[in-house]
């Protein structure tokens, strides 16, 4: 610790250079944290998907419907605990930019299939009794400042032109999972079915079922797909995590993109910081010689230079992570529900700090080795 003032004093030598270098680390770490949070949001569906849940879509395309009549047939398959269904509603609130996912749901089976999405019992009972009732995720409720008892009009001109769909907000759900999706808006299937045009009636978007035992997944999936094989609406049944992963892939190879951008950023940072450290060491060759003349060992000189690089990387990465932690929730809110909540987990922060520290040490290594090998007599001659 007694050498810390020396390291800090050296960093204060060229303040603008130090600030710019710290800024480089901060920007890189901010970008890393943001990209990592987006990647995590894309993957979260598969990470927190229930191992005991299957998703059933139309085999041709997930945007094509399945008959509601499949529900009872699926429910009777041995190993199926409960089955529910969803439709993509696609409405907006007040303004077309106020987008969030809305689904008509099967009130009876929803809690059995999605037990991790918690709604207080009295709110759920009120919802079940209210034909125009709705339950909304906590994030969306917070976004629009909704509270239980509010009347919420949702516009959807693609389904009908009868004006807004009116809902009564009966409850708010929370997810048991950290970062779980709390943006959805649920309403009663009966209300949906009653109002949609004839061409839409009797069709659901997809089914989700809960298994009695996760080990049964393959058998049940095969049974379902075989049951509806050669029908007008063949099914494709997969685990919820596989479904979530395939949804994420609809956006392209996000992981590859993020890793590529992150690698380029860190490599550039390595070059920039390495150059800065090299210049910084070259400027004080004479001082390093004096340190050695006084009795500082080659190794202690090596550690001083590495210590400076490390201090720069820690300061910059901490700043970047703090900025990211402050900005990411706001940036996530700006996505308007396009992605699940952006979460900067502590493991992501630690990983970012780790990368920055490795880059810091690597950038200081060559100049530090040069300083370590410096011959005092030669360096003093250059003072």
Partner 1 sequence: MVCVDESMIGNALICVRDLDKQYQRGGEEINVLQGLNLNVAQGEFVAFMGPSGSGKTTLLNLLGGLDLPSKGSITVAGDEVTHMSRRRLAAWRARHVGFIFQMYNLIPVLTAFQNVELPLLLTSFSKAERREHVEAALLLVGLSDRLGHYPRQLSGGQEQRVAIARAIVSDPTFLLCDEATGDLDRKNADEIMNLIERLVKEYGKTVLLVTHDPVVAARADVTLYLEKGALVGATAADMVAS
List interacting residues with partner 1 (CB under 8 A). Answer: 2-3, 5-6, 9-10, 12-13, 286-287, 290-299, 376-377, 380, 383
CA-closest candidate to residue 99, choices 58, 158, 178, 56: 158
The residue ranges of DSSP E strands in 155-250, in sequence order, are 165-175, 185-188, 203-204, 206-211, 235-239
- Which helix (H) or strand (E) segment holds residue 104: the answer is strand 102-105
Minimum CB separation from partner 1 for residue 173, in Å? Answer: 59
* Residue 214 or 286 having the CB closest to partner 1: 286
Place of tokens 């879509």: 57
CA-closest candidate to residue 342, choices 332, 354, 356, 333: 332
* Residue 19 or 290 having the CB closest to partner 1: 290
* Residue 112 or 380 having the CB closest to partner 1: 380
Minimum CB separation from partner 1 for residue 23, in Å? Answer: 21
Minimum CB separation from partner 1 for residue 318, in Å? Answer: 23
* Residue 48 or 372 having the CB closest to partner 1: 372
* Residue 3 or 267 having the CB closest to partner 1: 3
Place of tokens 């049951």: 227
Residues 113 and 206: beta-carbon distance below 8 Å: no
Minimum CB separation from partner 1 for residue 364, in Å? Answer: 18
CA-closest candidate to residue 90, choices 98, 101, 80, 105: 101
* Residue 2 or 162 having the CB closest to partner 1: 2
Cα→Cα distances 240→52, 114, 173, 272, 350, Å: 8, 12, 20, 44, 29
Decide: helix, strand or coil at residue 219: helix
* Residue 144 or 296 having the CB closest to partner 1: 296
Minimum CB separation from partner 1 for residue 181, in Å? Answer: 53
What count of residues does the chain have? 383
* Residue 145 or 295 having the CB closest to partner 1: 295
Minimum CB separation from partner 1 for residue 34, in Å? Answer: 36
Categorise residue 106: left if φ over 0, alpha if ψ from -120 to 50, beta otherwise: beta
Distance CA 233, CA 222 (A): 15
Minimum CB separation from partner 1 for residue 299, in Å? Answer: 7
Residues 342 and 41: beta-carbon distance below 8 Å: yes
CA-closest candidate to residue 320, choices 35, 119, 68: 35
Minimum CB separation from partner 1 for residue 303, in Å? Answer: 13
């Amino acid at each position: 610790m007694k050498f810390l003032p020396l390291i800090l004093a050296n960093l204060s030598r060229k303040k603008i250079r130090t600030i710019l270098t710290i800024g480089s680390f901060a920007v890189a770490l901010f970008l890393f944290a943001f990209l990592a949070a987006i990647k995590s949001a894309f993957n979260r569906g598969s990470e927190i998907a229930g191992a005991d849940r299957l998703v059933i879509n139309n085999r041709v395309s997930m945007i094509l419907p399945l008959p509601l009549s499949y529900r009872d047939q699926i429910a009777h398959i041995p190993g199926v605990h409960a089955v529910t269904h969803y439709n993509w509603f696609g409405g907006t609130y007040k303004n077309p930019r106020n987008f969030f996912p809305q689904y008509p749901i099967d009130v009876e089976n929803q809690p059995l299939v999605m037990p991790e999405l918690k709604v207080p019992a009295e709110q759920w009972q009120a919802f079940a009794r209210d034909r125009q009732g709705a339950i909304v995720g906590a994030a969306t409720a917070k976004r629009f400042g909704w509270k239980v008892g509010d009347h919420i009009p949702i516009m959807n001109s693609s389904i009908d032109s009868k004006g807004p769909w009116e809902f009564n907000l009966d409850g708010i759900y929370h997810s048991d999972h950290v970062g779980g999706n709390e943006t959805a808006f649920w309403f009663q299937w009966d209300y949906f079915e009653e109002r949609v045009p004839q061409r839409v009636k009797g069709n659901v978007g997809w089914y989700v079922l809960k298994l009695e035992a996760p080990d049964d997944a393959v058998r049940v999936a095969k049974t379902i797909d075989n049951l509806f094989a050669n029908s007008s609406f063949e099914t494709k049944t997969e685990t919820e995590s596989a479904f979530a992963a395939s949804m994420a892939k609809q956006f392209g190879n996000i992981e590859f993109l993020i890793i590529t951008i992150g690698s380029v950023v860190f490599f550039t940072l390595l070059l920039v910081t390495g150059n800065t450290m090299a210049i910084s060491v070259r400027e004080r060759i004479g001082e390093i010689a004096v340190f050695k003349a006084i009795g500082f060992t080659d190794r202690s000189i090596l550690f001083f230079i590495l210590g400076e690089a490390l201090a720069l990387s820690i300061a910059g990465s901490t700043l970047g992570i703090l900025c990211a932690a402050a900005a990411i929730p706001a940036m996530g809110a700006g996505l308007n529900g396009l992605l699940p909540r952006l979460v900067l987990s502590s493991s992501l922060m630690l990983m970012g700090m780790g990368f920055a520290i490795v880059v810091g040490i690597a950038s200081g290594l060559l100049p530090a080795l040069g300083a370590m090998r410096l011959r005092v007599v030669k360096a003093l001659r250059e003072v």
